[in-house]
Amino acid sequence: MKILLIDDEQLDVFIAQKLLSLEFDTTGIASYGQALQWAKENHFDVVLIDYYLEDGKLGKDMLRELLAIKGKAFKPYLLTNYVDGQEYEGLKRDGFLAIIEKPLTLEKFKQQLQLS
């Protein structure tokens, strides 16, 4: 399984990529533009997107662009520190299968994969 991890914090990308790479083929990217370019040129099965990205962009903005590029050929998950119930429902309408709360663990990720 190929995972694309997108977060604007380089340290978060480094840590999550190391963690996920224990069991999955993972590419981590800390730039909105670079993530879009990479997605155009590569295949991925799952994308993990941080809620807040650079330059005022949000994870749902990135998801919208990825869906325009790839269609529904991947499973999208949102990474965040906190999302309330109303916001959670809106994010699911935007296309996210689930929200995974930070800090990311391998167990949390694998559990969400099984549920969706």
Domains recognised in the chain with CATH numbers: 2-115 (3.40.50.2300)
Query: What percentage of residues in the chain have a pLDDT greater than 70?
Result: 100
Q: Which pTM does this prediction carry?
A: 0.95
The DSSP H or E segment spanning 5 is strand 2-6
Using 50, 70 and 90 to split pLDDT, how confident is the model at 88? confident
- Exposure string of 77-106, with b = 16+ CB inside 10 Å and e = fewer, is bbbbeebeeeeeeebeebebbbbbeeebee
Is pLDDT larger for residue 109 or for residue 85?
Answer: 109
Percent of the chain whose predicted confidence (pLDDT) is above 90: 89
Tell me the pLDDT tens digit for each residue of 33-76.
999 999 999 999 999 999 999 999 999 999 999 999 999 999 99
- Please give the structure tokens belonging to residue 36: 């879009």
